[in-house]
Structure 1
Amino acid sequence: MKKIAFLFGVSAFALGSNVIAQEAPSGSAWSVEGAAVVDYWNNSSGGVATGTATQANIGAQLNFDGSKAGIPLLRGTFGGFYNNGEPFSGAEVGDAQGVSNIETGAEGFYLYENWISLNWGEIVDGEGQTMVKLGLIDLNGSFDAPNVSGLFMNSSHGIIPTFSQTGGNGPSIFPILGLGAIYQLRLGDANKIRVGVFDGVPGYPNDPTNIDLSLNKADGVLLVGEWEYSAEHLRLLFGGFGYSEATAPILAGPNRRNRGLYGQAELNPNGKYAWFLRAGTANPDVNFLENYVGAGVVINDAFAKTDHQIGFAVARAGLSEAGRTTIVGAKDSETNLELTYSAPLGRGLTLQSDIQHIINVGADPSIEDATVVGLRLKYEFGTN
């Protein structure tokens, strides 16, 4: 609690400082935004067991825009969410990639993104030409960040599974975040380079809703670096990550460093037909999954209806040789096929239908291929 009070005290001091204050433009510097999401899932065939699940996630955050308070250098976000923790992939499907991107496995209130950023130079999309961000950070908002693939519900289309599987408690991503810092530099109109350092073991593995604001030498750190090119008809990025502390291998042998690479390519990301390709690798000695490839297409303004979207995507996660030894007769991969349709209902409401077919569920030959159907109702709210 003392550490939390200290962080908020530092933020309050910075916001009130006259050293960097300038004449404030009109409009409130503070805004609120959030979303309530409810998913209904039905595993109609195959998988571990047929059955249904209803998952819910409700989150909100308070944003500060210093440019509206005479402090153009400073921005901040302070938020959290509640999740009902209803299992589906673990209880009914048994897949390795995660059918729903809001599944946490543990009910409770979670402290989420709480950070401040310092920005120098021209502000574009809320970020300066040079930006430094400090606090509790979802690294997936900056590294391997989804754009076109963000429409899909399967977790692999948010952050690739060869990255999300790593670490003593996963990297600093939804739902469990750790302390981190990001430095980003915008080069011209199209290029960005960014580097980040994060707690090597965010949160507490046995207590997922309890936040950990300490940094322990034994946990080490996660280092991430990325280059991004973004233009009207093309978006490219390439990155890599590595943990400072060695990890015990799946098979016998000395501890190994957990490292990996990833990349994305998007064609016509803002057009009628938007395409994406994503891929990644991870150290096969210490990870269940060694490689990943995902691809898909999204049709915007589908059926001549504004903001309606329909998309199809494929996600293939390949097992490492060591990973295959953990399952008798293991398949070499799991493949997910997803078809989804999103339609706005007005007043912040969106309805999204989804069907996923999982081939080689969990790479386990004893589990039949599964077909799941989902329906998502999302309500977004906010103030400017």
Structure 2
Amino acid sequence: MPKLDDDMRMTWGRVALALLAVALATPAAAQVAAPSVERAPGNVELPEVEARDPLVLQLAYTGDILSSVAGGRRRGTRWINNVSAIASADLDTLAGLPRTNALLHVFYNDGTGFSSDLVGDGQIVSSIEAGVPLLRVLEGWVEHRGPDDRWSFKAGLYDVNSEFDTLQTSLLFVNSAFGMGTELGASGRNGPSTFPSTSLALRGQVKLGDRVTLRAAAADGVPNDPARPRRDWIGIAGGDGALLIGEADVELGVVRLFGGGWTYTARSDDRFDAATGAAIVRQVRSNGAYVRGEAQLAGDRTRGMRGFFRLGVAGDRANLFGGFSSLGFVWRGLLASRPRDDSGIAIAYAGGSSAGRAIVRVEGGTPARGEAVIELNHRIAVADWLGVQPHVQYVVAPGLNPTFGNALVLGLRLTATIAE
């Protein structure tokens, strides 16, 4: 059984004392509506706020305290912090623009690394790990809806994962793999237009009847500046091309199914050629497809069990991961004495592409065929505005690298939200 070193004991000791203080000092919280899929960075769920005011402000804090206690690159503990400020405006009331609303989302991230420094995995243990300190606008868009809300358009700085490839059920989990699928999330020169780097985009959506929704978006193919990750670059460069993504979403009672496809219009460097400094770097297409679903398996949303799955594939030479699958279950009110708590277990597997495995082979050793993660998670609803999530993650074959042992991670996520 792995032992905690002195630094880990000191960090977790402080956390325990802080949680005890919070528990003793927490006042009765105001009632908040049931959660929706509005998110803070890194797939963190925000409470839904009733649209009683033309301008709604939300503040959200997410903190991940993580300890690598075995395997990976090395042992250690990190505390990652992320703060968001979100303003939603009804422009019909404020500016006389019918059926039009706007959103501005700014976040600060302290840039603490965990997967990059300690575990070495490709799926990223914490969904709020940004790599470098950032104070950045994540989203800033305007949306106009049709007279019957059957169609709408958005334009501006846009997080693709706010509406595409996202499920409410999987938002409980901390690992990035349970947000946007790994094969899509790791695509492109600087990732797709999602946390922590987004780009200008256009999104259209239309509802066909009461059950089917079609949506499509075009975003700048290279968000911000990959060479200078702390730089804020909002614009469209000629050689960036675009990320095109489309999705069909079907709701059938307690079951929701959707599938999508995506492609970058500009060709990408072959990942192996680029990583090994080849004299000739081949240009290849980067594209993929996915299918995803969730269902109420027992009880209802107020108390019961939900499940989700995802399957995805991506271009084998343009991406480090060529395939992805995940499966998970979440229980609301598993303990009768804690009806608002959520408990979950999920597993994700990212299959290495031929280019990704070849890179590891050149560096020495036989690469694993893929990287897997298993996460056990329990969210304690301390109050309507405050959540505490102890969790355990076990990462198999981090980074496909044979020199890294399977990693055991102990973690605690703290979430707090304030709405005005």
Q: Secondary structure at the match of 1:307?
A: coil
Q: CA deviation at 1:168?
A: 1.2
Equivalent of residue 88 in structure 1, options 98, 111, 114 = 114
Q: Which runs of 5+ in 1 are unaligned?
A: 1-25, 123-127
Q: Secondary structure at the match of 2:360?
A: coil
Equivalent of residue 221 in structure 2, options 200, 217, 224 = 200
Tell me, yes or no, if structure 1 residue 257 matches structure 2 residue 282. no
Assess if the C-alpha contact under 8 Å between 1:78 and 1:113 holds in 2.
yes
Structure 2 partner of 1:309? 342
Q: CA deviation at 1:67?
A: 5.1
Q: CA deviation at 1:68?
A: 4.5
Letter in 1 for 2:233: D
- In structure 2, C-alpha distance between the alignment counterparts of 1:90 and 1:296, rounded to whole Å: 25
Equivalent of residue 319 in structure 1, options 327, 352, 357 = 352
TM-superposition CA deviations, 1:199-255 (whole Å, max 9, x none): 010101133233222211211111001000124310101000001111121345741
- In structure 2, C-alpha distance between the alignment counterparts of 1:376 and 1:338, rounded to whole Å: 13
Tell me, yes or no, if structure 1 residue 279 matches structure 2 residue 304. no
TM-superposition CA deviations, 1:149-207 (whole Å, max 9, x none): 11100001010010011111111000111000100001111110011000010101133
- In structure 2, C-alpha distance between the alignment counterparts of 1:186 and 1:307, rounded to whole Å: 32
- In structure 2, C-alpha distance between the alignment counterparts of 1:362 and 1:55, rounded to whole Å: 21
Letter in 1 for 2:175: N
Structure 1 partner of 2:71? 46
Letter in 1 for 2:121: D
Tell me, yes or no, if structure 1 residue 64 matches structure 2 residue 96. no
- In structure 2, C-alpha distance between the alignment counterparts of 1:261 and 1:34, rounded to whole Å: 34
Assess if the C-alpha contact under 8 Å between 2:183 and 2:313 holds in 1.
yes
Change in CA separation of 1:322 and 1:347 when aligned onto 2, cut-off 3 Å: closer
Q: CA RMSD in A?
A: 1.5
Q: Secondary structure at the match of 2:325?
A: strand
Q: How does 1:218-229 map to 2 (within 5 A)?
A: 218-229=239-250
Change in CA separation of 1:214 and 1:41 when aligned onto 2, cut-off 3 Å: same
Equivalent of residue 136 in structure 1, options 143, 157, 175 = 157
TM-superposition CA deviations, 1:283-335 (whole Å, max 9, x none): 00111100000000000122122220000000000011221111131010011
Structure 2 partner of 1:78? 104
Q: What's the TM-score once normalised by structure 1's chain length? A: 0.89
Assess if the C-alpha contact under 8 Å between 2:74 and 2:119 holds in 1.
yes
Assess if the C-alpha contact under 8 Å between 1:110 and 1:210 holds in 2.
no
The number of residue pairs the alignment matches comes to 353
Structure 1 partner of 2:55? 30
Structure 1 partner of 2:417? 380
Structure 1 partner of 2:32? none
Q: Secondary structure at the match of 2:188?
A: coil
Structure 1 partner of 2:296? 268
Equivalent of residue 363 in structure 1, options 400, 404, 407 = 400
- In structure 2, C-alpha distance between the alignment counterparts of 1:121 and 1:306, rounded to whole Å: 40
Q: Secondary structure at the match of 1:355?
A: strand
Q: What's the TM-score once normalised by structure 2's chain length? A: 0.81
Structure 2 partner of 1:98? 124
